[in-house]
Amino acid sequence: MTVTYVHWGEDKVKLHWNGETPLPPNGVVTSVHGFCFYQNQLLIVDLKKRGWDFPGGHLEKGESPAACLAREVMEEGCVKGESQFIGSLTVDHRENRNWNNHRSYPEVGYQLFYHMEINEIFPFEARHESANRRFIDPAHVKVYYKDWNAVYQVILDAALKLEEKK
């Protein structure tokens, strides 16, 4: 399993890739993300507050992770497709000296990751949080994603294995 530490603002956070384990309960799932492909090109979105990223976001009340992903990729990238669960990422704040229990996230939460094969592309409309979308060679993701790390690479590699099987 791959582990890395990242700094999100002032917070030191431990990320641990769990791979394809059972889904954690929705109460500790903080977000859902997708590595979305069209003709072997990876979809990235330019988020107005973060820059280039892969599509994803937070679960709405009563929403399944797969439905969340479908909604987020449509809002951020104006695409639809078929998704398959890749695995979960533990987001662990137990070593974060800035942690307090008044945050909206659990001290130990999970991000879920999916592979999506895009089958519909709609005209891009920057109506939500993304300003642009781009389809890129997955090997060039580090050029766009400013905080790329070893854990994200392992997740992308898992998505690419599914992409090769199609």
Going through the chain in order, the beta strands assigned E by DSSP cover 3-8, 11-19, 29-38, 41-47, 51-53, 56-57, 79-92, 108-121, 130-136
Q: What is the pLDDT of residue 165?
A: 79
Please identify which residue in the block is written with the tokens 């389809």: 135
21-66 per-position pLDDT tens digit = 888 887 899 999 999 999 999 999 999 888 999 999 999 989 999 9
Q: What is the pLDDT of residue 9?
A: 80
Instruction: Report the C-alpha gap between 104 and 127 in whole angstroms.
Output: 26
Domain definitions of the chain by residue range = 3-165
110-160 per-position pLDDT tens digit = 999 999 999 999 999 888 889 999 999 999 999 999 889 999 999 999 999
Domain 3-165 bears CATH identifier 3.30.360.10:
no
Give yes or no for residue 1 having a pLDDT over 70: no
Q: What is the pLDDT of residue 122?
A: 96
